């Protein structure tokens, strides 16, 4: 039986050479030219003035929120269907969350509900976390947020290389954050970055990534900070990977479109992602499917994942709703915790199937055939 992991990344000979060159040059910590070069290239790529590289996308979010220096108990709007890192970044900075239910078309937080919540709660911050491949229509809320003095952080971890209404994801709002975990469109193993056009914010990013060292008084600290630095080896890999960003996005689109074509006739049983939404083309960071009503008496997301496992196919559930996360229960996390029924539905019936950059057609065919067999078994 074939084995298909949920994610397969790509490390080329050029990538290996780039890291070896870095090692040979003797730069292994965050000091030296590699991190700075990676930051400059990222700033240029994402149409931003400043970029600060850090140790992960989660660290990037935590520093981004902290750098805004919002007053304790600030209110932040956030998708209910997203990664825990987003909630953490608000809570460690003493904010309260207003969670927004999902839109079933693009699986992001719902645009209309977001606008309603902005007007109702007048939050200090909105953290937009684009999800799975189609961007949240972030351009639609920029002006309103600007008029109301609301800060925007754009979590573009999954949207590296994506655009929204022709503008690059990673260039919206006051701050954008990226992740370079191996399932992202470019990887540094672990790693992340924070982008802004604001000089003072960028200075804060640097301080908070590096233990809050003072520039002119070493080992004297008037704020507490942690070590969130990126190494030169990671940066050298990132520089090399960045050269392939455009072709990686093309590959992801080919992978996504191939699944859509091959799974199309199963649409009564599983919902497929849209290949585009309101003019933005999907980049299929992951290829999600949702078990539909007809199949729900046989499978939910978890049991479908288990079944795919019997075929040696790796898959993952959709995010668990933030509003139901046990770890947030005792945190006084909520300004408002509406029932996010769509986010709950996504979490219960959604999963993503193998779609890493290095997946082959043969592997995709095997995944498609297995899904077909599993479904046909139920209805025969």
For residues 54 and 70, which CB has a smaller minimum distance to ligand PLP in the complex?
A: 54
Site residues for ligand PLP, 187-206, by CB under 6 A, read: 192
For residues 129 and 231, which CB has a smaller minimum distance to ligand PLP in the complex?
A: 129
| Residue 322 sits in the site that holds ligand PLP (CB under 6 A) | no
| Residue 181 sits in the site that holds ligand PLP (CB under 6 A) | yes
**Binding range to ligand PLP, per CB under 6 A, among 155-163, 167-175, 265-273, 301-309:** 155-163
Continuous segment of H or E residues that includes residue 257: helix 245-263
| Residue 364 sits in the site that holds ligand PLP (CB under 6 A) | no
CA distance 41 to 244: 13
C-alpha separations of 105 from 274, 310, 377 in Å? 7, 30, 28
Of 39, 46, 57, 241, which lies in the binding site for ligand PLP, with binding defined by CB under 6 A? Answer: 57
Of 106, 129, 232, 323, which lies in the binding site for ligand PLP, with binding defined by CB under 6 A? Answer: 129
- For residue 313, what is the DSSP state? B
- Strand 270-271 and strand 192-196: pairing? unpaired
For residues 32 and 189, which CB has a smaller minimum distance to ligand PLP in the complex?
A: 189
For residues 150 and 160, which CB has a smaller minimum distance to ligand PLP in the complex?
A: 160
CA distance 48 to 42: 8
Task: Look at residue 231 and give its three-state secondary structure.
Answer: coil
Least distance CB 276 / ligand PLP (angstroms): 20
Of 83, 186, 230, 351, which lies in the binding site for ligand PLP, with binding defined by CB under 6 A? Answer: 83
Other CB atoms closer than 10 Å to residue 245's CB: what's the count?
14
Tell which residue, 115, 66, 58, has the closest CA to residue 82: 58
| Residue 155 sits in the site that holds ligand PLP (CB under 6 A) | yes
Burial group, residue 323, by CB count within 10 angstroms (0-12, 13-18, 19+)? buried
CA distance 172 to 164: 9
Which residue minimizes CB distance to ligand PLP?
57
Of 7, 30, 67, 85, which lies in the binding site for ligand PLP, with binding defined by CB under 6 A? Answer: 85
Distance of CA 54 to the CA centre of its chain: 15
Size of the site for ligand PLP (CB under 6 A): 12
Which residues, in sequence order, are bridge partners of residue 154? 128, 176
Tell which residue, 19, 52, 338, 51, has the closest CA to residue 189: 19
Least distance CB 197 / ligand PLP (angstroms): 21
Residue 319: both structure tokens together: 């995010």
Least distance CB 90 / ligand PLP (angstroms): 13
Of 56, 137, 204, 236, which lies in the binding site for ligand PLP, with binding defined by CB under 6 A? Answer: 56
**Binding range to ligand PLP, per CB under 6 A, among 16-24, 68-76, 154-162, 201-209:** 154-162
CA distance 335 to 73: 9
Of 171, 179, 323, 355, which lies in the binding site for ligand PLP, with binding defined by CB under 6 A? Answer: 179
| Residue 171 sits in the site that holds ligand PLP (CB under 6 A) | no
CA distance 214 to 65: 20
Binding site for ligand PLP (CB under 6 A): 56-58, 83, 85, 129, 155, 157-158, 179, 181, 192
């Amino acid at each position: 039986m074939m084995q298909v992991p949920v994610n397969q990344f790509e490390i080329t000979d050029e990538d290996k050479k780039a890291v070896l060159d870095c090692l040979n040059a003797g730069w292994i910590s965050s000091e030296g030219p590699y991190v700075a070069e990676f930051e400059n290239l990222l700033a240029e790529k994402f149409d931003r003035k400043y970029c600060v590289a850090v140790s992960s996308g989660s660290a990037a979010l935590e520093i981004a929120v902290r750098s805004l220096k919002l007053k304790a108990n600030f209110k932040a709007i956030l998708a209910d269907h997203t990664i825990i890192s987003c909630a953490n970044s608000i809570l460690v900075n003493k904010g309260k969350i207003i969670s927004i239910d999902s839109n079933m078309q693009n699986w992001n937080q719902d645009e209309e509900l977001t606008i309603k919540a902005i007007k109702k709660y007048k939050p200090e911050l909105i953290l937009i976390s684009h999800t799975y491949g189609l961007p949240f229509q972030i351009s639609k809320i920029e002006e309103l947020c600007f008029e109301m003095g609301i800060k925007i952080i754009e979590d573009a971890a999954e949207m590296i290389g994506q655009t929204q209404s022709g503008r690059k994801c990673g260039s919206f709002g006051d701050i954008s954050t990226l992740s370079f975990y191996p399932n992202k469109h470019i990887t540094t193993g672990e790693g992340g970055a924070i982008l802004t056009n604001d000089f003072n914010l960028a200075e804060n990013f640097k301080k908070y990534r590096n233990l809050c060292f003072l520039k002119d008084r070493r080992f004297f600290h008037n704020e507490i900070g942690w070590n969130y630095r990126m190494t030169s080896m990671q940066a050298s890999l990132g520089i090399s990977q960045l050269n392939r960003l455009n072709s990686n996005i093309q590959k992801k689109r080919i992978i996504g479109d191939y699944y859509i074509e091959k799974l199309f006739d199963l649409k009564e049983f599983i919902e497929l992602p849209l290949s585009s939404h309101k003019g933005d083309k999907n980049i299929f960071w992951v290829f999600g499917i949702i078990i539909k009503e007809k199949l729900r008496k046989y499978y939910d997301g978890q049991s479908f994942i288990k079944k795919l496992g019997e075929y040696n196919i790796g898959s993952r559930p959709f995010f668990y709703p933030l509003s139901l996360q046990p770890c947030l229960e005792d945190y006084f996390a909520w300004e408002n915790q509406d029932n996010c029924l769509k986010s709950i539905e996504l979490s219960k019936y959604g999963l993503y199937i193998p779609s890493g950059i290095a997946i082959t057609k043969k592997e995709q065919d095997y995944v498609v055939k297995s899904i077909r067999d599993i479904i046909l078994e139920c209805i025969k």
